[in-house]
Homo-oligomer: A and B are copies of this chain.
Amino acid sequence: MKSDLKPNVVGIDIGGTNTVFGIVDQKGNVLASNSIKTQAYKELDDYMNALCDGIAQLVKDNCGMDKIQGIGVGAPNANFYSGNIEYAANLPWKGIVPFAKMMSEKLGVPVALTNDANAAAIGEMTYGAARGVKDFIMITLGTGVGSGVVANGQLIYGHDGFAGELGHVIVRRENGRPCGCGNKGCLETYTSATGVARTAREFLEKRANEDSLLRKIPADQITSKDVFDAAKAGDQIAKDIFAFTGQILGEALADFIKFSSPKIIVLFGGLAKSGDLLMVPLKKAMEENLMPIFRNKVNVVFSEMKDADAAVLGASALGWDAK
């Protein structure tokens, strides 16, 4: 298929809880995978040793390191240009971590890294819903909201590697919700899984006289999954929470379209399992906020990638070009 390349790559997805890694072939099959607990290693060196040992063993058991073209890593606050992970709030090691350099020295294979949303975009472009699409936007709806923007067939990294922080575009300037980034009214505070839970607490308080399945759960323990289940069971407040979430996301997507005029927008992550509960109000708000030249042209789709594999696959795709 690509005869000048070695047959496989390794993809690594570094999350706050788990670090998952796998061997991927040129067709996008995950041949083997394993994981370690990210938080089990307070010292960076211990983590790096454990991760590299795990990869070396997995590769040895399957194809041998001489069959590995490169390693691609998706991690929060990872910088494609520098190969560093910089000030990641949810990882145990502080400051600037020269991740790519450390790992490639240990394993003798080139390593490239990028943030998790960019990795998802590359995965989607290589194996998913955006195959062959030169202009698209990837939005990850998880604990936070991340994004990867592809234009002219290339991921936009920006001058410093930090482009695509659309989760922190400000969508409510008045009385916006406080965000972990220090600003108020960021998209992420409304349309992440935690944003949906926040909306649930707000709606339940505001509509105190109205019954809801969600009242059976202690308010501070409500998750977006609970809201989804309640909405599916016909709960009006839960349905309104999705309508509100979809509207805010749709308004934001309309503005993103005015920036890069993508052919498709791919939604990925926990909330992307909400189906029409999210998609119907989202599309309505998006179209209403577009100028005529953009209307009814942009496809919003849910990711086609299987969750379990997606992060590793996305990261691995970066390994083909690692230098």
The chain A residues found within 8 Å of chain B, CB to CB, are 77, 86-87, 133-135, 149, 151-152, 154, 156-166, 168-174, 181-183, 251, 254-256, 258-263, 289, 291-294, 297
Which residues of the partner chain B approach A255 to less than 8 Å between Cβ atoms? 169-170, 255
B293 and A162 within 8 A (CB): yes
Do the beta carbons of B262 and A162 come within 8 Å of each other?
A: no
* List of B residues within 8 angstroms of A151 by Cβ: 151-152, 154, 156, 158, 163
Partner of A157, one of B157, B173, B261: B261
CB contacts (< 8 Å) of A259 on chain B: these are 149, 156, 163-166, 169, 256, 259-260
CB-based contact A159/B173 at 8 Å: no
Q: Which B residues are in CB contact (< 8 Å) with A170? A: 251, 254-255, 289
Q: Which residue of B lies closest to A256 (CB)?
A: B259
Q: In the bound complex, do residue B289 and residue A165 qualify as a contact, i.e. CB atoms below 8 Å apart?
A: no
With a 10 A CB-CB cut-off, give which of A149, A172, A263, A289 has the most chain B CB atoms.
A289
- 12 extra A-B contacts, CB within 8 A, seeds A151-B154, A163-B259, A182-B292: A133-B159, A135-B158, A156-B260, A158-B261, A158-B262, A160-B293, A163-B261, A169-B258, A170-B255, A170-B289, A172-B173, A183-B291
Number of copies: 2
- How many angstroms between the C-alpha atoms of A170 and B87 in the bound complex? 32
Q: Can you show 8 pairs from A to B with CB atoms below 8 A apart?
A: A86-B293, A135-B158, A154-B154, A160-B297, A162-B261, A163-B261, A164-B259, A169-B258
A133 and B262 alpha carbons, distance in the complex (Å): 23
Q: Are A152 and B152 neighbours in the complex by a CB distance under 8 Å?
A: yes
Docked Cα-Cα span, A77 to B149, in Å, equals 24
CB distance from A151 to the nearest CB of B (A): 5
Nearest residue (CB) in B for A258 is: B165
Min Cβ gap A264→B in Å is 8
Chain B residues lying within 8 Å of A134, measured Cβ to Cβ, are 159
* A152 interface neighbour in B154, B171, B181, B261, Cβ under 8 Å: B154
Q: Which residues of the other chain, B, contact A157 by a CB distance below 8 angstroms?
A: 152, 261
Chain B neighbourhood of A256, CB < 8 A: 259
A289 contacts B183, C-beta separation under 8 Å: yes
Question: A171's closest neighbor in chain B, by CB?
Answer: B173
